[in-house]
Amino acid sequence: MAGRILLIGLTAWALLMIAPDLYRVVDPLGSAGFAADNDGRIYDVRGPFAQETDSPAWNAGLRIGDRLDLTAMRCVAPRGDACAALLSVLGGMGGTQLVKPGRALVLTILPAQGGAARVVTVTAQRRPVGLFERFVLLLNEIAGIAFVLAAAWLVWTRPGAMSWGFFLYAFWFNPGQNFVYFLMLQERPLLMLAQELADSLAHGAACAGFLLFALHVPGDKSERRWRNVVRGLPAAGVILASMQLLSFANAFGYPTEMLSRATFLTDYAVDGLAIWILLRRQHGQPPQDFQRMRWVIWGCVIGLPAYILSGIVQSTSLWHALWNQPSIPRDLAGILLLIYGTLGWFVFEAVRRPQVVSVSIPLRRITMFGLVLSVPALFAHQQLEHLEQMLDLPSWAWIALASVLLFLIGRLHELAVELADHVFNRSFQGHRARLAALGDKILHADNIETIERLLTEGPRRELGLASAAVFRLVSWLYTA
């Protein structure tokens, strides 16, 4: 009972963090138009706006290379406008952190060229958000909610180390976004810092949980050779939680960009270790479990690289440092998170089903879906923003249009899969027709002997099954 109460509480918290971002589909948030790393260095003064002259930060006089004065704005006492402003802009996600439109941020800036610190007021403006970006956000939120609920369902129906480990991972690392949730905390520094502490604990538990899942899937048991690794998971979780917590020390005036990057790289090392464990444990598994583990492995191979890249472009300045681009593509992170959602689906199917078919079937279907989606997505990305400018429709009408578009793409995907099966699986189609004819003969048989003969000779003759021939011989010997 205590476990289920804990599960309900954690699930509610996870949904509370990501579900409010559905609001952004209807009413986008604002942006100050700049991004600063965890050392306070400003590396982007355009943000999501079309050009620098549209950015509030640029118009307020901020330039690349300027620094936030972490010491002057530090949250030594977790209250006041300076502390709230600092917590609102540090570690910008997607190029800039999101704030309420019209909110004035009073910042203490150290100029790049040197000199005394100056106080700058930046007033956030509503971000320009196109229809395609809203559509991707809607899909991300649906995928994030489904990701968390699927993991919670596995714990509810199959409680154990395997399902709990994956739930702890899904609780924190899911495709959903949480800008609106943190928006409600930005102007309350004490609550924001308490949330950062809870974030650190959840982050450490998620990383340890993913390794626990990899060590127990698919039969919820771990081999003796991994015993020491299992024992070391609590310590690993504590270390990762501590690193995450220390990266928030910039709120108290300490630069933490290198530590933040080390935390991200450690997360990626955990992902790589989990895949390595799965590959090692796959050998020697019974055939059914071997196939289920293949599903998990393919889900990790597809989903984790997409999630890693989305984390780089959303929460670090590595994108700017490596590619020297002024801003990231606005839809890139969302599309990567959608691909990452594949991991949740593969794991859910592999755990809940005692038997799964070849992993090549869903991979073919995913490939077909990607091909079907690519054309309308390309059209949407290039044309729908122009259509939005031409048609002055309310936000709910665009949401309805996006839902219809998603339904039509889904139907197109189903038709494309059926067509591909018909073209590439002609032999299977022939077998199905012959078996249907055989079934019709069995239904119209007038005695037991005819039914038995059709059941034994039919599969052997129509499909050429050796097992049917053996069954026929055994049946003949038994009756004789």
State the pLDDT confidence band at 311, using cuts at 50, 70 and 90.
Answer: confident
Note whether 106 and 217 are same-domain residues.
no
Say if residue 173 is exposed, middle or buried (CB neighbours under 10 Å; 0-12, 13-18, 19+). buried
Single residue among 423, 438, 458 that ends a domain in this structure: 423
Q: 62 lies in a domain?
A: yes
Question: Could you tell me if 117 and 69 are in contact, meaning their C-beta atoms sit under 8 angstroms apart?
Answer: yes
Classify residue 391 by burial, with Cβ atoms within 10 Å: 0-12, 13-18, 19+: exposed
Residue 85 shares a structural domain with residue 151: no
Same domain (yes/no): 105, 227: no
What DSSP assignment string belongs to 8-25? HHHHHHHHHHHGGGGHHH
Q: 7: pLDDT confidence band, cut at 50, 70 and 90? A: very high
Would you say residue 299 has pLDDT above 70?
yes
pLDDT, position 27: 83
* Cα-trace Rg, the chain: 28
> What sign for the dihedral angle of Cα 315, 316, 320, 323?
negative
Compute the average pLDDT of residues 89-101: 62
- 399 — pLDDT class (breaks 50, 70, 90): low
Q: Is the pLDDT of residue 361 over 80?
A: no
Examine the pLDDT at 338 and tell me if it is beyond 60.
yes
pLDDT at 232 over 90: yes
For residue 93, pLDDT over 70 is answered with: no
- pLDDT of residue 422 exceeding 80, the answer is no
Looking at the structure, do residues 236 and 378 belong to the same domain, yes or no? no
In a domain, 410, yes or no: yes
Question: Is residue 413 one of the residues assigned to a domain?
Answer: yes
293 neighbors 350 (Cβ within 8 angstroms): yes
CATH code of residue 101: 2.30.42
Domain identity same for 173 and 314:
yes
138 in a structural domain: yes
104 or 370: which carries more pLDDT confidence?
Answer: 104
Quote the domain boundaries for residue 247: 131-356
397 contacts: CB under 8 Å, gap ≥ 6: none
pLDDT at residue 75, rounded to an integer: 86
The answer to whether the CB of 38 falls within 8 A of the CB of 15 is no
More confident residue, 128 or 464: 128
Q: Which of 126, 151, 186 is the last residue of a domain?
A: 126
| Per-residue confidence (pLDDT) for residue 94, from 0 to 100 | 37
Same domain assignment for residues 135 and 184: yes
Indicate the residue among 79, 110, 126 that finishes a domain: 126
The answer to whether residue 325 scores a pLDDT higher than 80 is: no
What are the beta bridge partners of residue 126?
30
How confident is the model at residue 347, as a pLDDT?
86
**Which residues pair with residue 107 across a beta bridge?**
120
pLDDT at 326 over 60: no
In the chain, how many domains are there? 4
Average pLDDT for 97-123: 86
Say if residue 415's pLDDT is above 60: yes
Residue 194, pLDDT > 60, answer yes
CATH for 323: 1.20.1070
SS3 content of the chain, % helix, strand, coil (to 5): 70, 5, 25
Asked if residue 327 is part of any domain, the answer here is yes
Q: Are residues 203 and 282 in the same domain?
A: yes
Q: H-type helices in 217-286, by residue range? A: 227-246, 257-282
Q: Are residues 147 and 262 in the same domain?
A: yes
The reported pLDDT for the residue numbered 304 is 87
Q: What is the mean pLDDT of residues 308-322?
A: 65
Do 51 and 161 sit in the same domain of this protein? no
In a domain, 19, yes or no: no
Please tell me the predicted confidence (pLDDT) of residue 9.
Answer: 93
Query: What mean pLDDT is reported for the chain?
Result: 78
Q: Could you tell me which residue, 172 or 354, shows the higher pLDDT?
A: 172
Note the pLDDT tens digit of each residue in 239-279: 999 999 998 888 888 888 888 888 888 988 999 999 999 99
Question: Are 161 and 292 found together in one domain?
Answer: yes
Residue 20 belongs to some domain of the structure:
no
In a domain, 85, yes or no: yes
175 and 295 both lie in a single domain: yes
Same-domain status, 83 and 172: no
Mean pLDDT for 204-210 is 94
Give the whole-number percent of the chain exceeding pLDDT 70.
73
